[in-house]
Amino acid sequence: MLRTRVIPCLLLEDEGLVKSINFKKPTYIGDPINSVRIYNELEVDELIFLDIKASINSTPPPFKKLEMIASECFMPFSYGGGIRTLDDVKKLFDLGVEKVVLNTIACENLYFITQIADIYGSQSVIISIDVKKPLFGQNRVYIKDGTKKSQYTPIEYVKIVENYGAGEIMLNSIDKEGLMDGFDLALIDKISDAIDIPLIATGGAGELLDIKKAKDAGASAIALGSMAVYQNKNRGILINFPTQKELTTILNED
130 is catalytic: yes
Predicted pLDDT of residue 2: 62
Note whether 141 and 154 are within 8 A (CB): yes
**Model-level pTM?**
0.96
Predicted pLDDT of residue 136: 81
Closest alpha carbon to 66 in 96, 39, 41 = 96
Predicted pLDDT of residue 191: 98
Task: Give the active site residue among 51, 130, 145, 184.
Answer: 130
Query: Measured in Å, how far apart are the chain's first and last C-alpha atoms?
Result: 9
Predicted pLDDT of residue 1: 47
How far apart (Å, rounded) are the C-alpha atoms in residues 229 and 225? Answer: 7
Residue extents of the structural domains in the chain: 5-251
Task: Compute CA distances 40 → 35, 77, 231, whole Å.
Answer: 9, 12, 18
Q: Which fold has domain 5-251?
A: TIM Barrel (3.20.20)
Return per-residue pLDDT of the chain as tens, 254 residues.
Answer: 468 999 999 999 998 999 999 999 999 999 999 999 999 999 999 999 999 999 899 999 999 999 999 999 999 999 999 999 999 999 999 999 999 999 999 999 999 999 999 999 999 999 999 999 888 888 999 999 999 999 999 999 999 999 999 999 999 999 999 999 999 999 999 999 999 999 999 999 999 999 999 999 999 999 999 999 999 999 999 999 999 999 999 998 86
